[in-house]
Structure 1
Amino acid sequence: MSTVERVPTQWEVLDERFRAVRGDHVVQRLFDGGRWLEGPAYSPAWRCLLFSDIPNDRVLRWDEVSGRCDVFQTPAGYANGRTLDRRGRVVTCEHGPRRVTRTEPDGSQTVVADRWRGKRFNSPNDVVETADGSLWFTDPSYGIDSDYEGHRAEPELDGCHVYRCSPDGRVDRVADDFQRPNGLAFSADERRLYIVDTQRRHLRHFDVGPDWALRDRGVLADCDAGSFDGIRLDSAGRLWVAAHDGVHCLDQDGTMLGKLRLPEICSNLTFGGRKRNVLFVTATTSVYSLALNVTGAGPTGG
C-alpha cells in the first residue's frame, strides 16, 4: 500500500551554518500505520527501506520505485534496529529471541550473537558494522521490561551494556557504564564512536584505539526534548539524532545547529536514496523522508 503525503516542513535554525545543510525541501510521510516504528535501513541494491514495527512484530518494506509499503516479514522476533553489512546482508537486533542475526543471500538466518559469557542478552537494540567486519551493538532491556516490545523476563546480565562481536564470533563487552545504551554510530575514519544513553538523555563520544579499546571523552550533548534515540552521521561529520520533537543536527563539537521538527516522537533514522542524500526517519506511527543538501557518511555512519 502507498500512503505518501506531504507534511509541512518545520525547520528550527539555531546556527547559521544549518541553513546550507537543510535546504528548502519537502517532508513526505511514506507510511503511517505503525505502533512503534524503528530500525530503518536502506538497501541500494533493492532500492527499498526496511523498518520495524516492534509491538506488531513485523518488518515492513517501502519500495522506492513504486512507493508501495508492504509487510516483509511477520512474525519477526520483535525486530528493532538493523544495518546492512558491506556485502549487503541484513543484520538485525531481535528483542524476542534476544539476539543479533544476519540474513544470508539465500534468505537463511545466521545467529551472530545471543550470549555473553553464557548469559543471554537483554534485548539487542541497535547495531553498526566497522571496516574489519565487526558488529557493535547496544543491549538495553526494553524487550524484557514488558510484553509490549518482546517477552517480559528477568535479566541474566548485570546491566545494560555495549558489545562488539568480531568476525570470528568472539563477543566482548566494550562499555559497561550506561543505563540504557541505544543508538550508536562511528565517524567515517572509525576513530570516534558516538553512543546515546536514552535514560540519561545524553550523547557520549569515545576515542577508538587501534585495538578497538574505547577512551571515554564524556558527554557531547544533552537532549532538550525528551531523550535521544537513533543517530547517524553525514559526510561532513555532523550528527543527526532522533529526539522527541524531531531530528536534531549537531556539529562534531556538540553545538546544536538546528532541528527538523516532526509531529511525532522520532526513534531512528538513516540516509539512503541513490545519492545517499535522503534522510529517512522512523517515528511513533510513521516513516518520513526528506531530501537534504548533504549526503550520509559511509556504511558505519549512516
Structure 2
Amino acid sequence: MTEPREVLTGLGVGESPRWHEDRLWFANWGAQEIVALGPGGEPEVIATAPKPVGYSIDWLPDGRLLVTGEENLLVREPDGALKPYADLSGLGAHWNELVVDGRGNVYVNDIGFSFGAEEFRPGSIALVTPGGTVRRVAEDVAFPNGMVVTPDNSTLIVAESFAQKLTAFDIGPDGGLSRRRVWAGVGGDGICLDADGAVWCSDMADGGAVCQRVREGGEILDRIDLDTPCFACMLGGPDGRTLFLMVADWRGLESMGDLFAARTGRVLAVPAPAPKAGRP
C-alpha cells in the first residue's frame, strides 16, 4: 500500500477516532481533550474530556456527542456542558470504548480491571437503550476494545485485545447480544469497518506497530507496517476512502506519563481500497 502521510503531530495519544460531519474527531489522551480535525488539517479543541485517559466518543441520532466518564456515560448539551446521560456505576468501573448503532442503542465496554494496577479480569459490554434502560449484554470479554456495528444494525464486532481475536454478536430487536462467535482470529485494539465487510484492526500486541485489513474468517487482505505503534484507526475523508491511523511511541505503562509529556502522538493517513461503512 501507499506510504502513510503525516496529517498532525504533537498529540499525547490519539484514540477513539471518528469521522463525523466532514471532520476527523478523536480523543487526545494525556491532554484531556476532544479534538476535531478540519479538511485543511487544522485541529479544534471541542471539549475538555472528563478524565485524562480511557475515554471514547460517538454520537446519538439527534447529533449530541457522547463521552465515557468514570461511572457515567456523558452527553454534551447545546451549551457545551458534559452532563450525565446514563449511570453505569452498577455495572463496572473501568469503561473504555463505545459505539452507537443506527437505532440509538449505545454499547459501552468495561475492561474489567485497573490496567497496570490489578491482575487481569475479564470485562463486559453494557447496553444503554434509547429509553434509558441500562443492562449488561455480554460478559467474559478479554479486554474489550474497539467495536463496530454493521450497516444493517444486525451485528456487533468487538476486539478482544487480550485474546487476540475479533468477536461478533447478533444484535436483537431489543438491543441484546446473542450467538457469540469468533469473527476472526486476529488481534485488534481500535477497529473500523469498510463497505466490503472487512475490518481494519490496529494491533499493539507485544509492542507491534501494524494495522491490518481482515475479512470474516481471518484472511488478511492488506497490511500496513509502521515504525510506531498504532492505537486506533478510522476510515473517513470526503469519499470515505482515507484510513486515518493514530500512532504514538509506547514504552510501557510505567512510562505513560513521559509519553504524554513527550507529545509523540501523530495522525497518519493512507488511501484505502474500500470506503467506510457501519458505525462508528
Q: TM-score higher than 0.5 here?
A: yes
2:202 is matched with which residue: 242, 256, 274? 242
Which SS does the other structure have where 1:126 is aligned? strand
* CA distance in structure 2 between the aligned counterparts of 1:123 and 1:75, rounded to whole angstroms: 16
Q: Match of 2:156?
A: 193
* CA distance in structure 1 between the aligned counterparts of 2:184 and 2:137, rounded to whole angstroms: 21
Q: Name segments (4+ residues, structure 1) moved above 4 Å.
A: none
The two structures, once aligned, show a CA RMSD in angstroms of: 2.6
For residue 270 of structure 1, what is the amino acid of its counterpart? M
Q: Match of 1:132?
A: 103
* CA distance in structure 1 between the aligned counterparts of 2:20 and 2:104, rounded to whole angstroms: 18
Cα deviation, 1:136-194, whole Å, max 9, x if unaligned, reads 1111157x446xxxxx799xxx8521011001211110101113111111111122221
For structure 2, the 5+ residue unaligned runs are 249-264
Contact 2:105 2:175 in 1 (8 A): no
Structure 2 residue 159 is the aligned partner of structure 1 residue 184: no
The alpha carbon displacement at 1:271 in A equals: 2.0
**CA 1:153–1:250 in 2, change beyond 3 Å: closer, same or farther?**
closer
Identity between Structure 1 and Structure 2 (%): 24
Q: Match of 1:290?
A: 270
Q: Match of 1:268?
A: 232
**CA 1:75–1:106 in 2, change beyond 3 Å: closer, same or farther?**
closer
Cα deviation, 1:225-272, whole Å, max 9, x if unaligned, reads xx4111111112111111132211111333221212222211222222
Q: Match of 1:53?
A: 28
* CA distance in structure 2 between the aligned counterparts of 1:71 and 1:188, rounded to whole angstroms: 29
For structure 1, the 5+ residue unaligned runs are 1-10, 12-24, 147-151
For residue 274 of structure 1, what is the amino acid of its counterpart? P
Q: Match of 1:8?
A: none
**CA 1:57–1:215 in 2, change beyond 3 Å: closer, same or farther?**
same
* CA distance in structure 1 between the aligned counterparts of 2:101 and 2:44, rounded to whole angstroms: 30
Cα deviation, 1:95-132, whole Å, max 9, x if unaligned, reads xx34321213332323222325xx36323211111222
For residue 239 of structure 1, what is the amino acid of its counterpart? V
Q: Match of 2:9?
A: 32
TM-score, normalised via structure 1 length: 0.76
**CA 1:169–1:159 in 2, change beyond 3 Å: closer, same or farther?**
farther
* CA distance in structure 1 between the aligned counterparts of 2:109 and 2:27, rounded to whole angstroms: 17
Contact 2:33 2:49 in 1 (8 A): yes
Tell me the number of residue pairs that the alignment of Structure 1 and Structure 2 aligns: 259
Contact 1:26 1:291 in 2 (8 A): no
Q: Match of 2:42?
A: 68
Which SS does the other structure have where 1:33 is aligned? strand
Q: Match of 1:109?
A: 82
The alpha carbon displacement at 1:26 in A equals: 4.9
Q: Match of 1:20?
A: none
Contact 1:99 1:123 in 2 (8 A): no
Structure 2 residue 126 is the aligned partner of structure 1 residue 166: no
Structure 2 residue 81 is the aligned partner of structure 1 residue 78: no
* CA distance in structure 1 between the aligned counterparts of 2:226 and 2:202, rounded to whole angstroms: 10
1:87 is matched with which residue: 35, 40, 62? 62
* CA distance in structure 2 between the aligned counterparts of 1:159 and 1:176, rounded to whole angstroms: 7
Contact 1:60 1:69 in 2 (8 A): yes
